[in-house]
Structure 1
């Protein structure tokens, strides 16, 4: 067994060295157990949020990349079409597409496959809509739709790879943190899932050789 093959032991009171080729993030899990008051909205003209019936995996993957590549979203990019379709075309999963004047501007995915729960599995805007106020429009309507299904709770998670302000946005929307975790994965840029220049706020540490 080489040093890079050895199990990684997390130091709970200090630094934990990562092998080259890995990236780490702190993940915060948040939830709400009752419908919150909506966030004040601004600049909502031309915005719509509608469910996409039976989303095509190729279309979804392209939107997923547009929205999330700068924030190290990669999980859906390594799935086959069949694996992805099994999720996004599931009757308990809703892909809600945000449009601005008819143009794709972002999306929220509501995952209700766990009985009594709705997860905001993915929440994001295309780059030129970030900071426009469209996120408030989108989250208000998505949460209202989620609570129409009368779940026990609605939950979401964010991490330190996400855009600055994401955690504060969820807190303002009515979520409260209940757990955190350290996530360590192979750098998806080195595997070719994301462009090498993606997520410049997360340094690439290449293996030697």
Structure 2
């Protein structure tokens, strides 16, 4: 059990407050698809997936899919119980929606986000409606996700407005990907680099 008070995070690491959220009954906002945008399921190879993952998440230091081996990532994204979707604009994939049905009766919203050209267009709310529809069409009892304090400052509020309810909070400590995994040091200026 973590005691009250301050706890030092080692140099070269980042600490995140992780909030787990869930939805038990689908709640749709009926948001229209933005003009010039198309929703589609995709079957990317590892390179295509990593490109999209990076373009959507690098500003928020997403690293979970970047630090695993190509073989491990391929195993995940080719699993028939993992479904990947995007929003395309001008024939470019500009969003990542990854639904993980590998746990019976549940769906995890494993990754969700849009690239900079779609931020503020309503594309995120439209994509979330599709995520909720697809998750509950499969007959699940629980749709869940986690977000953290280094993600977009708008993320937690967006998930709550979408109908997800916070159910648990934890602290995650990990290697700072800007130091350990070659991420651009200018990324995520809201999370200062602490070097040893």
Q: What TM-score bracket applies, with the shorter chain setting the length?
A: over 0.9
Map 1:3-14 → 2, pairs under 5 A: 12-14=3-5
Superposition TM-score, scaled by structure 2 size? 0.95
Larger radius of gyration: 1
Retained in 2: the 8 A contact 1:105–1:129?
yes
Q: How many residues align?
A: 196
Partner residue of 2:37? 47
How far does residue 13 in structure 1 lie from its aligned partner after superposition?
1.3
CA distance in 1, matches of 2:26, 2:131: 11
Partner residue of 1:25? 16
Structure 2 residue 155 is the aligned partner of structure 1 residue 166: yes
How far does residue 161 in structure 1 lie from its aligned partner after superposition?
0.5
Provide Cα deviations, 1:26-60, integer angstroms capped at 9, x if missing partner: 00000011111x2252562222211113x200110
Map 1:30-179 → 2, pairs under 5 A: 30-36=21-27, 38-41=28-31, 44-53=34-43, 55-179=44-168
Runs of 4+ in structure 1 deviating by more than 3 angstroms, as ranges, are none
Provide Cα deviations, 1:72-126, integer angstroms capped at 9, x if missing partner: 1011111121110100110000011111243221111000011111000000111
Q: Which deviates further from its counterpart, 187-196 or 10-19?
A: 10-19
CA distance in 2, matches of 1:143, 1:63: 21
Superposition TM-score, scaled by structure 1 size? 0.89
Retained in 1: the 8 A contact 2:13–2:194?
yes
Structure 2 stretches of 5 or more lacking a match? none
CA distance in 1, matches of 2:128, 2:183: 27
CA distance in 1, matches of 2:32, 2:80: 32
CA distance in 1, matches of 2:74, 2:41: 15
Retained in 2: the 8 A contact 1:78–1:193?
no
